[in-house]
Structure 1
């Protein structure tokens, strides 16, 4: 199993290209199930989760093609993929596939909308809480689907098609919003989704669906109105840049010092996180090229945060910010409100010398003068990269084990960081 070796102490200077967003790419790929025609996605990151979803969609009969790289093209540039679901050959998403990636459960919406039935295994993914599927089920039932559970599978049936309905999410759920939004595009009548997630990735999916012929209003708000169509057509869509990747590298620069241009990063997608970094003493400059992040000699100030749905501070940047606060001059409180059990990185950061105490949903982080390199174990995707950030300033060598988590969500992380001066390398087993 691969590991990542880091020798801390180097400042970061240069340019890091921001990849297409993983959290947008996955629902966009699943949207290909809604049409017989080809959906072309540009700026797709090369990630393990993308490859896994290709396999899952192939199981349903989706043809997949990757546009070849041109001579001289930057290997970090996004890829273009073509997805064609001319005929759905299987409406079953089996446990051995779905259990490896939670987002693959979202196929239930397009499948039951287009085919009138779906049998999808209950999901897997990162071990950061239960993340139940009750909102998916309630929403599809509101649209007329008959839902049952059998031996770990959710079985959805709508032989006469889904019907437009009004559904109010009892709590904000990005995954359920993606799923019901896709399903509603082929429902008979108008669907209104209240208290829908406002994350940029939801808006990116909606904009792609509109290109495919869907009638959607309220994009970017908490109320989505979808007038169902008999069918959708093909389209070409470029995936928006990854705000979590941009925020992660911004925190890495804040940690090490130096100055890095996050090329193609969009500040409007992570304004809350950037404002928090400014409060910590980091210089953030928005330009036409992207986001410039710099810290030159100033001490990091402690900042309290609480994770919230967009436009608040993202839960997917909580672990990275905690790593940053281990070097702040004072005490910060980090409160996690989205997922339970998302503090598994605390004990691994402590192995590097961090001073962190847990208090219910909060972590109390007291900055230390020095972190020291040590072997650490990645527990989930975002926790993994928090250990990398800490390793960039730790004295000596840090070995991050179980880096397959990183490969699920960060494209060529060690290459991007080493280009900017970090001493970091992958060690293959």
Structure 2
């Protein structure tokens, strides 16, 4: 079902030129809001984007007796977690389908209330993101997990949580966050090896340290957490969303445009910037942001492999693949993080792109999807002119990539299901208008 405001009609073939501002990272802000649950006091989060995920987490916190004030215009969220209570199962359930955040409530709720209820989980359909890592972590820290409920999972910690040695078989971002949020108030020391070290996670560590946590980080992906007795509220300014910044950079490349992304920062984007330069894109790093533009001439093909940080981020490849359809020659993308991330290329092919998918690992990185029937490598041949058409948005990043393709294509396109894009791209219609896009 598509309502009229869930459809965008785009006339492409015009360069995107202008200046836009990108706020805090979707993948950090929601987790910092959950962290506020750990302290019986007031926490203030700044540089918060106006996206749906923020409202979902706000509503989830309110169901647990927390006062949340969201000032969207200023990008400030104030959370008072002085009083926390167990939410009504049915209430939590109505919200759960729209996000994977509820599972991260486990640790904070166990510390504050001794129990937690986690409903069935939602999120983007881009590949398996099982919560087994999460549950195994909680069990190691001393929680009892009851999976008998058809509407969710009941977790208790009758004797409180205690430190443990935990090793993640894969550097899962969610499981790393789960461990950090659960271990900071657990009794004793926790050693987490094989952890994810994304910039968003390091920002979460900064927040927890402000609250009073003791966390050290080793260069070999090991976190050491010394449990403390209590935490206090925090005031923190979120790091910029490096996924959104890279998406607009890719849009500048695909449409032969010139976009200044206010708020974009170099340290978190180094790997992306290297690839952007290799393709032939130009950028200029300034104090208040980064300017990305297409300098004219042919774009160059590249071979990239996605990987966990500090590798090339999986969320960066989808918008970039659209730009690679305009590069002269053969580009190869080997996806090692999510097995079903290339589903979004089908509409690109229908628009005129030449993209072939393979089950083989077309790269040198050790890959979990080897010998398994996932089409997780793509070969893109270009440049191919794209022509507008009707598109149904499959997921958040794929959806934004389709939007870029529609903007780069000649003629009109109808993009349906764009409310999915609202989950991670604040006011993207306003930003498109600021860049001179032709849409309604």
Into which bin does the TM-score normalised by the smaller protein fall?
A: over 0.9
2:363 is matched with which residue?
none
* Cα deviation code 1:311-342 (max 9, x no counterpart): 11111122111111111111111111111211
TM-score using structure 1 length = 0.94
Show the 5 A alignment for 1:211-250: 211-218=210-217, 222-250=221-249
Rounded Cα–Cα distance in structure 2 between residues aligned with 1:58 and 1:172 = 31
Match of 1:80 among 76, 79, 94: 76
Residue in 2 that maps onto 1:129:
127
Provide structure 2 residue ranges, at least 5 long, that are not aligned to the other structure.
Answer: 360-375
C-alpha separation between the residues in 2 aligned to 1:107 and 1:286? 38
How many Å separate the matches in 2 of 1:58 and 1:348?
40
Residue 42 of structure 1 pairs with residue 46 of structure 2: yes
Taking structure 1 as reference, are residues 122 and 219 closer, same or farther at Cα in structure 2, changes over 3 Å only?
Answer: farther
| 1:372 counterpart (387, 404, 421) | 387
SS of 2:333's equivalent?
strand
Residues 1:67 and 1:95: Cα distance change in structure 2 (over 3 Å) = closer
The 5 Å alignment of 1:87-166 reads 87-90=83-86, 94-152=92-150, 153-166=152-165
Partner of 1:75: none
Q: Report matched runs for 1:13-32 at 5 Å.
A: 13-32=17-36
Q: Which of 431, 434, 437 is residue 416 of structure 1 equivalent to? A: 431
Query: CA–CA distance in 2 between the matches of 1:351 and 1:214?
Result: 52
- Residue 114 of structure 1 contacts residue 186 of structure 1 at CA under 8 Å; is this kept in 2? no
Moved more, 78-87 or 406-415: 78-87
Write the distance in 2 (CA, Å) between the matches of 1:293 and 1:203. Answer: 26
- Paired residues of 1:206 and 1:219 also in contact (CA < 8 A): no
Shift of 1:91: 5.3
Provide the secondary structure at the position in 1 that maps to 2:146.
Answer: strand
Cα distance 1:92–1:118, how it changes in 2: closer, same or farther (>3 A)? Answer: farther
8 Å CA contact retained: 1:113, 1:184: no
Query: 1:333·1:365 contact (CA, 8 Å) conserved in 2?
Result: yes
| Cα shift at 1:214 | 1.1
- Cα distance, 1:220 vs. partner? 7.8
Q: What count of residue pairs does the alignment treat as equivalent?
A: 417
Is contact 1:372-1:396 (8 Å) kept? yes
Structure 1 residue 127, shift from structure 2 partner: 1.0
How many Å apart are 1:221 and its aligned residue?
6.3
The answer as to whether partners of 1:117 and 1:155 remain within 8 angstroms in 2 is: yes
TM-score (norm 2): 0.91
1:356 paired with 2:355, answer yes
Q: For residues 238 and 121 of structure 1, what CA distance do their matches in structure 2 show? A: 30
Q: Deviations over 1:355-390 (max 9, x none)?
A: 111101111111243100011010000000001111
Return closer, same or farther for 1:370/1:67 CA change in 2, 3 Å cut-off: closer
Counterpart secondary structure, 1:392: helix
1:68 to partner: Cα distance: 7.6
Contact 2:85–2:113 at 8 Å: present in 1 too?
no
CA distance in 2, matches of 1:201, 1:403: 25
Greater Cα offset, 152-161 or 331-340: 152-161
Long gaps (5+) in structure 1: 70-77
Superposed CA RMSD in Å reads 1.6
Q: How far did 1:241 drift?
A: 0.4
Pick which of 203-212 and 5-14 moved more.
5-14
- State the partner residue of 2:206: 207
Q: CA deviation at 1:199?
A: 0.4
* C-alpha distance in 1 between matches for 2:214 and 2:87: 25
Does the 8 Å contact 1:92/1:119 carry over to 2? no
Q: Within 2, Cα distance between the matches of 1:8 and 1:34?
A: 48
Return the alpha-carbon distance in structure 2 between the equivalents of residues 136 and 91 of structure 1: 21
Partner of 1:406: 421
Q: Do the aligned residues in 1 keep the contact of 2:84 with 2:112 (CA within 8 Å)?
A: no
